[in-house]
Structure formats: C-alpha cells, structure tokens
A and B are shown apart, each in its own frame.
Chain A
C-alpha cells in the first residue's frame, strides 16, 4: 500500500492558463476529499466524492474549478484561467466510510503546490 499520491508535486503556471492535478487515493477507499492550504493557513475543504458522486462543494470552489472522479478511483481537479490568488497547496485525502457512523480516518497525500505567476 503506497498511500495517497498526488501528481504533480509542484506546478508553476502563468496567469490565465489551465492546470489539472491528479490524486490517487488508497485502494478501496470510497471517499475522496480535496482541500486547499494557503500560506499561513490551515487546509480548507473544497469538495468531496463518495465513489464517483461529487456530494458537496464549498463556496470556495468557484466556477473556474471543476473536480471529477470517474469510476470512483482517481480524481482530477482542474482550475481554468488561473489567477494569482489560486496559488496554494492542494491537498487530497481519502477514507473508507462504512455504514454505522463510525469515525473514518482521512489519509492525506503530499499535496500539489501551485504557483501562479
């Protein structure tokens, strides 16, 4: 088991360009989360998937952001027309949620650091 992986680890882009990040969760994990962490702040929730269904999106996720999880495995987060304010660490986490409401630990990936010039 290799844990949650994210690709790329670093991305530098020019304002106005589109970028796409990938997250591969722990195998068999049915929940996948995206968080954004700006400098000096804690991670903030963006969106999450239960299998392939996107069940909640934060108001932080503007129309320029889109996330997918086809087939309920890996997920992609795309940012269109990037702005300097999008510069941040984008974190992915996954968990295995079972029926019964028992706590399910989220395991985090190393993150993708985006710099928009």
Chain B
C-alpha cells in the first residue's frame, strides 16, 4: 500500500517571500505520478502541479516548482513570490501509473497562510 506523509501541519509566510512545503511517500511501484493540490477555504480542490516519476526534470508551473528526489521518495513544493491568494490547504498526492482505478492517495495536508 502507498502512503503519503506531510509532516508540517501548518506554515505561514510573508507576501512575496518563498516557501517550501515538504512531502514524503512510500511505495513499491516504479512508475507513478505525484501531485500537489490546493484547497482554498470553502472552495474546491484544484491541481497545482504534477510530476511523472519517470521524468528526471522537476516540474514547474509559473511560481510553483517541485523538487522530486525519487531515491529519497521526497516531493517538495516551492512557491515563489507568495501571494495572498496562495492561502489554502495544500495536499500532496500519489497515483500509480499502471492505469486501473487511478485513485489518488493523499497526505494529511498542510495549512499555508500568506500574510500581507
């Protein structure tokens, strides 16, 4: 079974600063996807960024980038130039690559607050 661990329950950062959210996972699979989802207060969950395990290059989406360390089973999210709208719960998630259900396995989440 796969597990996803987010050890930091809460973080805060000043607007315009950079923050890194950590995530580790455990799996015996060799091919899989990793995701970071954002859940703003009282709003639906949206995908922030995706990483395929077979790709060595770290994924980047505008101000969001990841540091994927496959051997260490680590997948951190870096948010640059933090904005007030980044305030949300952030969930790290895992999905096996082999098809089938494509169900997501989530971590417990981390509450990020961006202060003005």
Identify the A interface with B (CB < 8 A): 3-4, 31, 33, 35, 40-45, 48, 55-56, 91, 95, 97, 101, 103-106, 108-111
Alpha-carbon distance A33/B104, docked complex (angstroms)? 10
Contacts of A111 in B (CB 8 A): 44
Alpha-carbon distance A40/B9, docked complex (angstroms)? 9
Alpha-carbon distance A109/B6, docked complex (angstroms)? 23
Asked if B102 and A42 sit within 8 Å, CB to CB, the answer is: no
- B99 within 8 A of partner (CB): yes
Contacts of B6 in A (CB 8 A): 42
- Per DSSP, chain B at the interface is loop
Asked if B104 and A45 sit within 8 Å, CB to CB, the answer is: yes
Q: Which of A40, A44, A106 has the most CB of B within 10 A?
A: A106
List 17 A–B pairs whose Cβ atoms lie within 8 Å, in order of A's numbering: A31-B102, A35-B104, A40-B108, A42-B4, A42-B108, A43-B45, A43-B104, A44-B106, A45-B101, A48-B101, A56-B101, A91-B45, A97-B102, A101-B98, A103-B50, A105-B50, A108-B44
